[in-house]
Amino acid sequence: MKTLSLTTESSVGSMEEEEEKDLVSGTFTWRIDNFSTLNKQNHYSDVFVVGGYKWRILIFPKGNDVDYLSVYLDVADASTLPSGWTRYAKFGFTLVNQVDSKKSITKNTEHEFVANDKDWGFTSFILLSELCDHDKGYLVNDFCVVEAEVSVHNGIKILEDQETGELIDFRGLGRVEKTFVPFLEEVCSSYPSLLECHKKRSRTFIQCAFTALGRLLCFLKTTKAKDMTRDACKRLQLLWEELETFKFDLVWLEPHVQSVLVMKRRAGRVDRLREDVEILENEIKRRRDVLAAAEVDLEAAKRDLAKADEEFKKIDMDTELGYPLT
């Protein structure tokens, strides 16, 4: 079980900073069931999105070469990011005490994530002996709860397949991916409130927000219904969650996105029903073949019966049976 909540705050930087930076924060809650049965060396949570970035929690249930629970924040899509990517975050983990919340353990840190250093956290979070002591309240009914709070300062640096990395100005609001501009122009002309709702935000925040919007619009415009595989649906869901963090008025878009996701589920149901029909048709054909073979056997049996009956009728039934003599 997992939950994700997101908030947007504002922080004022030092005099050296050119502008106020918006801090996008999110909290992800991970319930880890059947903890004692986790045999793998490491174990990942589901992917969650904060500030346009994809994250997941990484734990070592038996410890990362130590007698402690090891907990890290991992860049979930590191293998697909362009060369030279970086990602800065402040974050912390809380191991929830399910008996007394005041005894929950929280540890905080910050890190600049790069390709060869894509996870960071705490190798020695809590002694395994303390975690597994049921009287302590951290492990109850063989499950524990870990919360990750992540705060991201930098703008979005995720490049999707359609993105070139070439940035151009969008209506004086900031520089965004060139590929996205036609889609942004189209929807902003139809929904001017998209431009109004973020006028008081910093330039960095606006660039992040319209990059997220452009990324989703580009996906919808360049993806065909037949291409909506399970992975594509997951990608769309993540793009939608990313966009929601920027607090646009998306009443006009949400029903369409949900209908796309529902459409795929309906398509999956149609595929399953089609498979069922094919199976039944094949079964009927098999049974018809069996019936045809049985009919051939029946006709042969009838002929044999008629011949045997005719020969039997030639016997004089009044003849004495007798017995042989030498």
Closest to 160 measured CA to CA, from 222, 94, 95 = 222
| pLDDT above 70: percentage of residues in the chain | 87
Q: Cα(8)–Cα(256) distance, rounded to whole angstroms?
A: 25
Q: Cα(118)–Cα(6) distance, rounded to whole angstroms?
A: 22
Judged against a pLDDT cut of 70, whether residue 267 lies above it is answered with no
Q: Cα(103)–Cα(91) distance, rounded to whole angstroms?
A: 20
Q: Check if the beta carbon of residue 140 is closer than 8 Å to that of residue 75.
A: no
Domains and CATH numbers, the chain: 2-152 (2.60.210.10), 167-252 (no CATH)
Q: Cα(56)–Cα(44) distance, rounded to whole angstroms?
A: 7
Q: What is the pLDDT of residue 152?
A: 85
Which pLDDT tens digit goes with each residue over 176-210? 888 899 999 999 999 998 988 877 777 778 888 89
Give residue 163's pLDDT band: very low, low, confident or very high (50, 70, 90): low
**Average pLDDT of the chain to the nearest whole number:** 83
Judged against a pLDDT cut of 80, whether residue 154 lies above it is answered with no
Average of pLDDT values for 237-254?
Answer: 87
Reported residue count of the chain is 326
Judged against a pLDDT cut of 50, whether residue 148 lies above it is answered with yes
Helix axis angle for 203-222 and 254-313, nearest 10°, is: 30
- Determine the residue type at 102: K
Q: Cα(234)–Cα(314) distance, rounded to whole angstroms?
A: 82
Closest to 27 measured CA to CA, from 147, 154, 152 = 147
**Terminal CA-CA length for the chain:** 96
Which pLDDT tens digit goes with each residue over 279-291? 989 899 999 999 9
Give residue 1's pLDDT band: very low, low, confident or very high (50, 70, 90): low
Q: What is the pLDDT of residue 234?
A: 78
Give residue 153's pLDDT band: very low, low, confident or very high (50, 70, 90): low
**267 C-beta neighbours (distance < 10 Å), count:** 13
DSSP secondary structure string, 224-285? Answer: -GGG--HHHHHHHHHHHHHHHTTT---TTTHHHHHHHHHHHHHHHHHHHHHHHHHHHHHHHH
Q: Cα(15)–Cα(11) distance, rounded to whole angstroms?
A: 13
Which pLDDT tens digit goes with each residue over 57-98? 999 999 999 999 999 999 998 888 776 777 888 999 999 999
Q: Cα(20)–Cα(313) distance, rounded to whole angstroms?
A: 113
Q: Check if the beta carbon of residue 26 is closer than 8 Å to that of residue 8.
A: no
Q: Of 18-22, 93-97, 189-193, 306-310, where does the model show the most confidence?
A: 93-97
Q: What is the pLDDT of residue 15?
A: 28
Average of pLDDT values for 147-173?
Answer: 70
More reliable by pLDDT, 11 or 212: 212
More reliable by pLDDT, 318 or 219: 219
pTM (predicted TM-score): 0.48
Give the distance from CA 39 to its chain's centroid. Answer: 23
Give the distance from CA 30 to its chain's centroid. Answer: 14
